[in-house]
Amino acid sequence: MANLKEVKNRIVSVTSTQQITSAMKMVAAAKLRRAQDRIIQMRPYSQKMTGILQNVSAGLDGSIENVFGEIREENKVLLVVVTSDRGLCGGFNSNVFKTTEALIEEKYSYQKKSGDLYILPIGKRSFEYFKKRKFQLVDDYYEMFGNLSFDEAKIAANAVMNGFVNGDWDKVELVYNEFKNVATQILRTEQFLPVEAGTSDEVDSSTDYIYEPTAENVVQEMIPKSLRIQFYKAVLESNASEHGARMTAMDQATDNAEDLIKELKLTYNRSRQAAITKEILEIVGGAEALAEG
């Protein structure tokens, strides 16, 4: 049987851990509420902007130059990989890393071998993972979640867009978790640049836009703005997903701690009962020995 003191110490330790995980669950729930409100408010605006952008891009017919839609040979590729700053959120970060590694193996193994694959990590876990594996990093923006706002995301988005225009990379993809609900996050890989014109199924051919002052001015202003919104939306999706994943993980950890405490208490009671029984047997044995003597 286990030593009573050891079992009691384990019960105290697990109880303390349970209190911590329960508190972390409540903190994650409070943060999730705010993050969820932000992404729910952002989605309709982002979707509408993306739809307009696809319609306009499809209707340009080369009449207006779109520097963000230039399709080039994919010699240099940038992957924007969004994770969290901290752990304790289940498989949230590891799933992003697995998806990114699979994407590289499937589509960009040549660029990786030739040294033309770049990673822009957002989130400390992303930075640490790819730095440890010696990837080429654009590491100026990985602490974005410390002060998450559109202005912060805009700076990173502008750097990515300027790099594409300047030829630093020929294609940019986003890898992030999309928030569905507290228990479910959907991994997404989206082409960020070059801008994809809408397909015939996606484009609303009946839409006739009136441009003011000119189509060129509107397009040159709208496309960068739409790209910044798309970038910010991906970061917000990941932020809400992180809190949902952490809330779920801490809830499971709290339940597991409760089950473990029950098992330890049962073990403690059995050990205690065995010790008492042993003492009684020793006393009875001693009494019988005295009686025989």
Hey, what domains does the chain have and what are their CATH numbers? 4-20+251-292 (1.10.287), 29-247 (3.40.1380.10)
pTM of the model: 0.86
The pLDDT tens digits for 142-187 are: 999 989 999 999 999 999 999 999 999 999 999 999 999 888 999 9
The dihedral through the CA atoms of 109, 111, 113, 116 has a sign that is negative
Distance CA 113, CA 109 (A): 6
Distance CA 124, CA 91 (A): 16
The pLDDT tens digits for 205-242 are: 556 677 777 767 777 788 899 899 999 999 999 999 99
Give the pairing of strands 77-82 and 117-122. Answer: parallel
The pLDDT tens digits for 48-98 are: 887 777 777 666 656 667 788 888 999 999 999 999 999 999 999 999 999
- Catalytic residue status for 172: no
**Which of 89, 117, 174, 175 does the annotation list as catalytic?**
89
| Strand order across the beta sheet in which 184-193 lies | 136-137, 117-122, 77-82, 171-181, 184-193
